[in-house]
Chain A
Amino acid sequence: MTSQITIEQFWLLSPELSVVLLGFLVLGLDLLTKRRGLVTAVAIIGLAVPTFFSISLATSLFGPRPTSGFFGMLLGDQYSLFFQFLFLIVAFGVMLASYGYAEKYLRVTPGEYYSVILFSVAGMMLMGSTGELITIYIALELTSIPLYILAGFSRTDTRSAEAAIKYVLLGAMSSAILLYGMALTYGVTGTTDLHAIAAVITSPQHGILSGNLMLLAGAVFMFVGFGFKISAVPFHMWAPDIYEGAPTPATLFFSVGSKAAGFAAIMRIFVFGGLASVSGNYLWVMVAIIAAITMTLGNVIALLQTNIKRMMAYSSIGQAGYLLVGLAAVMIHNTAAGILGLLTFLAVYVVTNIGAFAGIIGLADATGKENIRDFDGLGRRSPWIAFGMGLCLLSLAGIPPQAGFMSKLFIFFAAWQQGSGLTWLVVLGLLNSAIAIVYYVNVLWRMFAVDPAKRDRLTIPGSVNLTMTLSVIGIIALTIAFGVLLTHVGTSANSLFTLH
Chain B
Amino acid sequence: MGEMPVTAYLIVSALLFTIGTIGVLVRRNPLVMFMSIELMLNAVNLSFMAFAHFLNSVDGWMFVFLVLTVAAAEVVVGLAIIVSIFRTRRSIDVDDLNSLKG
A residues with a Cβ closer than 8 A to B are 133-134, 137-138, 141, 145, 148-149, 152, 155-156, 158-159, 161-166, 168-169, 172-173, 175-177, 179-180, 182-184, 186-187, 190-192, 240-241, 244-245, 305, 307, 310
Of the A-B pairs whose beta carbons lie under 8 Å apart in the complex, a sample of 27, sorted by A's number, is A137-B63, A137-B66, A145-B77, A148-B77, A148-B78, A152-B81, A158-B85, A162-B85, A162-B100, A165-B78, A165-B85, A165-B94, A166-B100, A168-B78, A172-B34, A172-B37, A177-B21, A180-B43, A180-B47, A186-B48, A186-B51, A186-B59, A186-B63, A187-B54, A192-B63, A240-B100, A244-B102
The answer to whether A183 and B48 have CB atoms under 8 Å apart is: yes
Residue in A closest to B20 when the chains form the complex, CB atoms = A176
The answer to whether B59 and A191 have CB atoms under 8 Å apart is: yes
Question: Inside 8 A of B30's CB, which chain A residues have their CB?
Answer: 165, 169
The answer to whether B57 and A191 have CB atoms under 8 Å apart is: yes
Question: Inside 8 A of B74's CB, which chain A residues have their CB?
Answer: 141, 145, 148, 168, 172, 175
Question: Inside 8 A of B102's CB, which chain A residues have their CB?
Answer: 240-241, 244, 305, 307, 310
B102 to chain A, nearest CB (A): 6
**B70 CB-CB contact with A under 8 Å:** yes
B96 to chain A, nearest CB (A): 9
Partner of B55, one of A182, A190, A241: A190
Given contacts A141-B74, A159-B100, contact A173 B24 (CB under 8 A): yes
**B67 CB-CB contact with A under 8 Å:** yes
The answer to whether B70 and A166 have CB atoms under 8 Å apart is: no
The answer to whether A180 and B55 have CB atoms under 8 Å apart is: no
Q: What separation, in Å, do the CA atoms of A240 and B102 have in the docked complex? A: 8
B39 to chain A, nearest CB (A): 9
B34 to chain A, nearest CB (A): 7
Question: Inside 8 A of A182's CB, which chain B residues have their CB?
Answer: 63
The answer to whether B100 and A169 have CB atoms under 8 Å apart is: no
The answer to whether A179 and B41 have CB atoms under 8 Å apart is: yes
In the A-B complex, list the 4 residue pairs whose CB atoms are closest, starting with the nearest: A176-B40, A187-B51, A183-B47, A241-B100
Q: What separation, in Å, do the CA atoms of A162 and B88 have in the docked complex? A: 11
Interface Cβ pair total, 8 Å cutoff: 124
Residue in B closest to A168 when the chains form the complex, CB atoms = B78
Residue in B closest to A167 when the chains form the complex, CB atoms = B81
Residue in A closest to B56 when the chains form the complex, CB atoms = A190
Q: What separation, in Å, do the CA atoms of A186 and B60 have in the docked complex? A: 8
The answer to whether B97 and A166 have CB atoms under 8 Å apart is: yes
The answer to whether B41 and A162 have CB atoms under 8 Å apart is: no
Per-residue CB proximity of B59-85 to A under 8 Å, as 1/0? 110110011001001100110011011
The answer to whether A172 and B51 have CB atoms under 8 Å apart is: no
Residue in B closest to A245 when the chains form the complex, CB atoms = B100
Q: What separation, in Å, do the CA atoms of A141 and B69 have in the docked complex? A: 11
Question: Inside 8 A of B41's CB, which chain A residues have their CB?
Answer: 176, 179
The answer to whether A162 and B78 have CB atoms under 8 Å apart is: no
Question: Inside 8 A of A165's CB, which chain B residues have their CB?
Answer: 30, 78, 81-82, 85, 94, 97
